[in-house]
Amino acid sequence: MLSILLADFRIIFERDPAARNWLEVLFCYPGLQALLMHRFAHWLYRLGLPFTPRFISHLARFFTGIEIHPGAQIGQSVFIDHGMGVVIGETAIVGDYALIYQGVTLGGTGKECGKRHPTLGENVVVGAGAKVLGNLLIGNNVRIGAGSVVLRDVPSDCTVVGVPGRIVYRSGERVDPLEHGSLPDSEARVIRALVDRIETLEHQVQSLQPVQPRVLAPAIAAVSISSNGLANGATSNGNVPSAWTAPNAANCRIRDRIIEEFLDGSGI
């Protein structure tokens, strides 16, 4: 137990550049204070005491603004930064070296009994205001962006952002835990890709307008046959007039890939 408490104390100096001396950390870091009180309450909880563990967690919530149910299992070297508004449910499991910011909820989604709160692996970073709800398994080295709502399991070495949470980085993409500004905006990328597609289509439509109604797009000409047996807009030799130009295939493939990755990320 003493080694775990020392690990909780030392990790603060590694993760927080504002930590300057041991006295300041011991008396002015509510995340550390909440963990100290939780570990004592958890020990009493495992002994089967009916009231005291919950009362200790209630006192910790009153003094620190962090609510950790005494039944929750917290690994070593866990750092709760700032911490105001953090809620960790009864059956939640937090792995070693986790980093949790203010406003995070590790909660349930109903009144079912048994395991109903998330399990976080090692080296997990949960950004400010993020919500992880239900009996989920969050793998090792996962980063959850600020304000995200995670409702499905997340494999290891991934980064999740958005509401609902979507994977934007998969295995192999490693970013410093404190570099929150590097998290991408997946919705903005997809919207930009769709806007580019619309602009391409508008440009094609405008290029067709001077020669309408004789010139139509190939897809329409293929199904619209004139009385003389030729496709509308086609010449007598079957070629489509040069006024219509095909879109850039490479750009279309890039945009399609961005959209597919966005839709695939929603399935975690």
User: What integer pLDDT is reported at residue 265 of this predicted model?
Assistant: 63
Tell me the pLDDT tens digit for each residue of 164-186: 888 877 665 555 555 555 566 66
Render 105-172 in DSSP notation, one character per residue. Answer: EEE-SSS--SS-S-EE-TT-EE-TT-EEESS-EE-TT-EE-TT-EE-S-B-SS-EEETTTTEEEE-TT
pLDDT category at 187 given cuts 50, 70, 90 is low
Q: To the nearest whole percent, how much of the chain has pLDDT over 90?
A: 46
Measured distance CA(14)–CA(100) in Å, rounded: 14
Tell me the average pLDDT across 87-101: 95
pLDDT category at 91 given cuts 50, 70, 90 is very high
User: What integer pLDDT is reported at residue 163 of this predicted model?
Assistant: 84
Place of tokens 């139509």: 216
Domains and CATH numbers, the chain: 2-182 (2.160.10.10), 186-265 (no CATH)
Tell me the pLDDT tens digit for each residue of 190-247: 777 777 778 788 888 888 876 555 554 554 444 444 444 444 444 444 454 444 445 5
Place of tokens 């499905």: 152
Average pLDDT across the chain, whole number: 80
CB 72 within 8 A of CB 38: yes
User: What integer pLDDT is reported at residue 198 of this predicted model?
Assistant: 83
